[in-house]
Structure 1
């Protein structure tokens, strides 16, 4: 296809409101550099003949705006107003480019997925400057670019978010039944799929709104506040942390348990190390401990926990662990 045919084809697509963004940019550049507009004459004439037979679309419609633009240009062309015509077509195309950007339906975003394995963390930098640190056995689905009126990502597991502030584009995290909505702040979200793992949001700075969509529960949190929804519950349990930074101790491979029941300890260890930890006694599961572990193996932590609680643990293929009051 020669240059003349390409010009005519692009203009025809433009006037028919079927050109892509790339084709529109190509046409605009051709018009900007053109010494004359003879190559566009046939396309203009054909459109003029068709447009004269139909009613003028409403001005609020982008296709209608383009038709009115073309009809005026062709009228000017027929009058041989060469200089004004050349100037007008550039100005109108510039306006059309603005309208194209304003009214064109955004292209579907392209998503990427970041994942972590057992006992590993990963930092993900999003297109808007937001920094996300994934905890072990977690995944984050996010777009290459945020081109809508809000920034949305999808989390499974746990992550620490340092959200870049943008008042015009709220940041929304989908994590199972949990919906977290912010403008710019730092906080953690824990939403592992296992039933034993409670849903949790803890705020380090700023303000966060969190909603459980099934229970229709809503909480607004500020620094140091934490909202937890345990399995089978319909309300958030709200707590105030003395040291909010403890919520991200896992970034430094540190686990902090402060008056935490063994059921929750087992859930945290299971998620971190990608194993199954079973407590076969309800009374034992409710027993609470306070301890800090850093840089230790799972076996080392279990030895310490069972020593504190005067229990024992057994393992099957280093994948399933059982904590029991009965000595084996």
Structure 2
């Protein structure tokens, strides 16, 4: 096992792990049952050691505390008999003692690293268009209108990180040792190989993550602290309130929310103001709603490659309104 993960587990136990490190640790833990067992056992050992090391106790007491914990663990799990790898625990204990006694050495070692200057590629897709971007690793990103992604020029080495503004559908190539991470404001979505949709337009009050295949882990930060990871499976959707941080997880049909790639629109209990914004983005139009009452009307409808007029006919009927199309502008008003 890479010694780095022992350090990440310690940071996790002390609740001072960074967002990117937490993503790495969760990906590693989720990759195998063996890693999950190592994580549980190591975390327990750290908790016992922390109790001793946080007091002015000597090194012998720290070692005794860890050894006692190992013996108790074996006793607690009777009648199941298993061989305990004491060498592994002694390695953990040694790492704990070293970090407790020589923090200056540790931080000085890492502080000597020079900050790397990272160059980025940025791709913007204007309103009324769809764009397919094939990443250096072979992953495909479908950009919706008025959406932008940013990624490092050395994207294909190490962790694969993408920054998103707007909406995109991701079809990610599986790489066990290279997690794929999408950052949208204070929300990070981590996968190894899957397909999912993220809707994070700045004008919306929510960020929505919808999984079509595979599994993703979503972490939301608030007031500088990371919340618990939310795991999503196929046909599950997580909605995150940008302001309050409230989460809402539900079962849905992912195809309804990913259909925009094929010029299909799906509105479920959405206010007319938000629907108008989507139509404006999809067809590169200016939309105007004349009254506040109309803006708040919520509608549910599905359209498959329809013209603007076909869409507006349905919306007018459902909202009991009228509309006018003048050149590149649509005006909606009460009857």
TM tier, smaller: 0.5 to 0.7
Find the counterpart in structure 2 of residue 213 from structure 1: 221
> Do residues 269 (structure 1) and 309 (structure 2) align?
no
Q: 2:258 and 2:118 mapped to 1: Cα distance? A: 30
**Matched residues in 2 for 1:277 and 1:219: separation?**
36
Match of 1:180 in 2: 189
Q: Aligned partners of 2:289, 2:219: CA distance in 1, in Å?
A: 30
How do residues 301-316 of structure 1 correspond to structure 2 at under 5 angstroms? Answer: 301-313=311-323
Aligned to 1:151: 160
Q: Partner residue of 1:122?
A: 131
Q: Secondary structure at the match of 1:213?
A: strand
2:194 is the counterpart of 1:161: no
Aligned residues: 220
* Contact 1:192–1:271 under 8 Å retained in 2: no
Moved more, 207-216 or 156-165: 207-216
Where does residue 257 of structure 2 map in the other structure? 247
Taking the aligned partners of 1:105 and 1:167, their CA distance within structure 2 comes to 28
Q: Look at both structures and tell me which one has the larger radius of gyration over its CA atoms.
A: 1
State the secondary structure of the residue aligned to 1:155. Answer: strand
CA distance 1:229–1:249, shift in 2 (3 Å):
same
Q: Any unmatched runs of 5+ in structure 1? A: 1-103
Deviation of the 1:310 alpha carbon: 0.6
State how far apart, in whole Å, the 1-side matches of 2:128 and 2:302 are. 16
SS of equivalent residue, structure 2 residue 306: coil
Shift of 1:128: 1.2
TM-score after normalising by structure 1 = 0.58
8 Å contact kept, 1:261–1:289: yes
Compare 119-128 and 279-288 and name the one that shifted more: 279-288
> CA contact under 8 A between 2:238 and 2:247: conserved in structure 1?
yes
Secondary structure at the residue paired with 1:271? helix
Given that residues 120 and 135 in structure 1 are in contact (C-alpha distance below 8 angstroms), is that contact kept between their aligned partners in structure 2? Answer: yes
Mapped contact 2:160–2:179 kept (Cα < 8 A) = yes
Match of 1:89 in 2: none
Q: Which residue of 2 aligns with 1:4?
A: none
Residue 224 of structure 1 and its aligned partner are, at CA, apart by: 0.7
Alignment of 1:108-119 (within 5 A): 108-119=117-128
Whole-angstrom CA distance in 1 between matches of 2:261 and 2:173: 20
Query: How far did 1:240 drift?
Result: 0.8
Tell me the secondary structure at the aligned position of residue 129 of structure 2: coil
Going from structure 1 to structure 2, the CA distance change for 1:290 and 1:180 (only over 3 Å counts) comes to same
- Match 1:201 to one of 195, 199, 209: 209
- Cα 1:148–1:107 change in 2 (3 A) is farther
> Which residue of 2 is the match for residue 235 of structure 1?
246
SS in 2 for 1:250: helix
Structure 2: runs of 5+ lacking an equivalent: 1-112
In 2, the alpha carbon distance for the partners of 1:185 and 1:307 equals 39
Contact 1:197–1:267 at 8 Å: present in 2 too?
Answer: no
Contact 1:106/1:148, CA 8 A, preserved across alignment: no
Q: What secondary structure does 2:177 align onto?
A: coil
SS in 1 for 2:173: coil
Kept in 1: contact 2:179–2:191 (CA 8 A)? yes
